[in-house]
Amino acid sequence: MNAERNLDKLKGWSRKVADTILGQCREDGLHPYPLERWAYVPGMLLMAMGRAGRQLGDERYSSFMQRHMDLYIGEDGSIRTYSLEEYNLDQINQGKNLFMQYENTGAERYAKAAHTLAAQLIGQPRTSEGGFWHKKVYPFQMWLDGLYMASPFLAEYARTFDRPDLTDETAHQLLLVERHMRDPRTGLLYHGWDESKEQEWADSLTGRSPNFWSRAMGWYAMAIVDCLEHFPVAHPKRGTIVGIYERMCHALVRVQEPESGLWYQVLDQGDRKGNYLEATGSIMFVYSMAKGLRLGYLSPVFRSAMLQGYEGIVGRLVTEDEQGVHLHQICHGAGLSKDRNGSFDYYVSEAVVSDHYMGVGPLLLAALEVERYLEEKTT
């Protein structure tokens, strides 16, 4: 179908996905996945449901987020299963939900929990230029993943609690990563960078990992728009960040697969055997572009690429049955370490699964953004 001629077929997916998630709850109304531990994927799923509740006006989705978050946040603001001393950026992501809880209730325990997570970031181990290490156990390494986990939280924290110095910090992280990890030839960003150049996956001259992993760039693309939403218009780095964002989106459109509108697991090597059109990266790019278009960070030229991408997602990667919506072609996980060398063969060897919340959470976020964009731009 042509996305512009069939816009109605692109609408309504957010409610379908949210209802599918509710349908997986136990009899007590709790979902087994967010019960496992405080972590970034459960946190993203809860955030998507919270946003669905607000945008769709359905209390069932909002209470889903609230109920599961309250299993972790103590009356004194402590966070069950979280350890500040891990200095792990992944552990910040679930804290993004605290702002909605604080706004909805005014309860100080949510503010206290947010202060704890901000304290981790203020004390986070850093590169020589002040870049956050991805984790304490990954010395001198910055990963694109970490920009999504921590930077939007820090930007919203800065706005909520009037800490302009932390807005400056957020800008510094976004720009530092772009400077060290962007490839000038393609405009794409490498997955990771090791300032010390000690890791086996790191180039001995640049410290960069060797390839452009779709989901890593998806994390960064989402991070930029989610951060900018909280930046003051007059912030001195805001325009620069908007500029590098649009430049990056042009690079992504250049490697978008033209027939499907989707993106490959290894972005610039679609013609290599074993590469495949991957769900999470494609969904994250669509989310970012839809939000960027809605908020005016992107020029309208990106509308067709965004809509074609979303059309490809719902038309090629999503199926429906009596259990609800199913999402396919999800890379189960990838990283960088001694056994995960960042090579092409490594990225295409990771398991490909269906219905993992690593993909379902972003799918709900993207559906909400596309629907909001279409509603606001056609009314």
Strand partners, 330: 353
Give me the pLDDT at residue 184, please: 97
Q: Does residue 217 sit within a domain?
A: yes
Q: Does residue 65 sit within a domain?
A: yes
Contacting residues for 236 by C-beta, under 8 A, at least 6 apart? none
Angstrom distance (rounded) from CA 155 to CA 65: 21
Other Cβ atoms closer than 10 A to 64: 26
CA distances from 224 to 19, 191, 240, 371 (A): 29, 16, 11, 20
Angstrom distance (rounded) from CA 297 to CA 291: 8
The residue whose two tokens read 């697969």 is 257
CATH code, domain with 46: 1.50.10.10
Q: Does residue 2 sit within a domain?
A: no
Give me the pLDDT at residue 334, please: 97
Instruction: Look up the domain containing 30 and give its range.
Output: 7-377
**Mean pLDDT by groups of 10 residues along the chain of 379 residues:** 76 98 97 96 98 98 98 98 98 98 98 98 98 98 98 98 98 98 98 98 98 98 98 98 98 98 98 98 99 98 98 98 98 96 98 98 98 86
Q: Does residue 339 sit within a domain?
A: yes
Q: Confirm whether 145 is a catalytic residue.
A: yes
Angstrom distance (rounded) from CA 354 to CA 330: 6
Give me the pLDDT at residue 3, please: 67
Give me the pLDDT at residue 6, please: 78
Give me the pLDDT at residue 5, please: 65
Give me the pLDDT at residue 377, please: 77
Q: Does residue 57 sit within a domain?
A: yes
Q: Does residue 1 sit within a domain?
A: no
- Which position among 90, 145, 194, 226 bears the catalytic label? 145
User: What total of structural domains would you count in the chain?
Assistant: 1
